[in-house]
């Protein structure tokens, strides 16, 4: 898939606040003694299983709330939710990657150098969540591996989720190093934090923008209780 027009809206929070929401086998990852939560609106392009031509891929606007963890010393991302536009894609992600996807009505439109994004969750039985913002880059590009905070937030090559049956699952991802830009945002509505049981942090968020990159997600695997990645991987592998 291709990730495009991303905003990273990042809040520093106390590590114990995040830890209370994580599976027991994951540890909070910290930057300068602080945990972080990030809301990330963007759009996927050309989403498809491996082996399918790019022209047959679909566009999938998305909004997620994530934090940063380690498992057996491995830095990774942990998703609290992923809201997306496509019903079939939401169902597929839940079935094959055991991701906490929710159906939402989402729009993303470039407007005179800015990105206008709006999401409203429509998933039956789920907590309501809305996010509406306009965002744009404001400075020179940053090579994420060369910036300590940017590297902490985006240079991660796996993510963890907790499946409905309580198993912990890992998915590896492949992509080039990120290029980010300092950014500004006008966030009109954001109930994503409350929908996941978090209070709105007192600290102002730090914003980064990226025009995007291409990503390949590997098969989801069960994390074994003996601290090894084990179990049979799922068969679906999405890529650019």
Q: Is residue 175 part of a domain?
A: yes
CATH number of the domain bearing residue 193: 2.40.400.10
Rounded Cα gap, residues 175 and 26, in angstroms: 23
Residue 117: name the closest of 40, 170, 181, 172 by CA: 40
How many domains does the chain contain in total? 1
Q: Look at residue 229 in the predicted model and tell me its pLDDT.
A: 36
Q: Look at residue 188 in the predicted model and tell me its pLDDT.
A: 97
Q: Look at residue 58 in the predicted model and tell me its pLDDT.
A: 57
What is the token pair recorded at 110? 């470039």
Q: Look at residue 196 in the predicted model and tell me its pLDDT.
A: 95
Could you list the residue range(s) of the whole structural domain that residue 18 is in?
2-230
Q: Is residue 103 part of a domain?
A: yes
CA dihedral sign of residues 148, 158, 86, 131: negative
Q: Look at residue 187 in the predicted model and tell me its pLDDT.
A: 97
pLDDT by residue for the chain (240 residues), tens only, comes to 789 999 999 999 999 999 999 999 999 999 999 999 999 999 987 554 556 555 544 568 999 999 999 999 999 999 999 898 865 555 555 555 567 788 999 999 999 999 999 999 998 888 999 999 999 999 999 999 999 999 999 999 999 988 878 889 899 999 999 999 999 999 999 999 999 999 999 999 999 999 999 988 888 889 875 433 333 444 344 333
Q: Look at residue 70 in the predicted model and tell me its pLDDT.
A: 97
Q: Look at residue 90 in the predicted model and tell me its pLDDT.
A: 56
Residue where the block lists tokens 């499946």: 163
Determine contact, residues 237/46, Cβ cutoff 8 Å: no
Q: Look at residue 236 in the predicted model and tell me its pLDDT.
A: 41
Q: Is residue 111 part of a domain?
A: yes
Q: Is residue 79 part of a domain?
A: yes
Q: Look at residue 202 in the predicted model and tell me its pLDDT.
A: 93
Question: Quick one: three-class SS letters along the chain?
Answer: CEEEEEEEEEEEECHHHHHCCCCCCCEECCECCEEEEEEEEEEEEEECECCCCHHHCEEEEEEEEEEEEEECCEEEEEEEEEEECCHHHHHHHHHHCCCCEEEEEEEEEEECCEEEEEEEECCCCCCCCEEEEEEEECCCCEEHHHCHHHHHHHCCCEEEEECCCCCEEEEEEECCCCEEEEEEEEEEEECHHHHCCCCCCCCCCEEEEEEEEECEECCCEEECCCCCEECCCCCCCECC
Q: Is residue 239 part of a domain?
A: no
Q: Is residue 237 part of a domain?
A: no
Q: Is residue 96 part of a domain?
A: yes
Q: Is residue 235 part of a domain?
A: no
Q: Look at residue 164 in the predicted model and tell me its pLDDT.
A: 74
């Amino acid at each position: 898939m291709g990730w495009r027009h991303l905003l990273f809206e990042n809040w520093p929070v106390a590590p114990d606040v995040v830890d209370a929401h994580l599976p027991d086998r994951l540890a909070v990852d910290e930057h300068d003694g602080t945990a972080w939560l990030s809301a990330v609106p963007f759009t996927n392009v050309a989403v498809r299983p491996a082996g399918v031509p790019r022209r047959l891929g679909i566009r999938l606007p998305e909004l997620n709330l994530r934090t940063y963890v380690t498992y057996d010393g491995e830095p990774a991302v942990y998703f609290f939710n992923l809201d997306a536009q496509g019903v079939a894609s939401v169902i597929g992600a839940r079935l094959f990657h055991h991701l906490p996807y929710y159906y939402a009505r989402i729009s993303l439109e470039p407007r005179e150098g800015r990105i206008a994004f709006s999401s409203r969750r429509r998933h039956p039985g789920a907590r309501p969540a809305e996010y509406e913002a306009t965002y744009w880059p404001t400075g020179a590009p940053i090579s994420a591996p060369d910036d300590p905070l940017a590297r902490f937030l985006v240079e991660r090559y796996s993510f963890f989720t907790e499946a409905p049956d309580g198993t912990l699952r890992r998915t590896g991802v492949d992509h080039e190093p990120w290029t980010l830009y300092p950014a500004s945002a006008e966030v009109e509505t954001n109930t994503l934090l409350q929908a996941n049981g978090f209070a709105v942090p007192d600290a102002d968020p730090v914003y980064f923008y990226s025009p995007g990159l291409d990503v390949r997600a590997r098969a989801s695997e069960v994390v074994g209780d003996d601290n090894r990645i084990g179990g049979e991987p799922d068969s679906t592998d999405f890529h650019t």
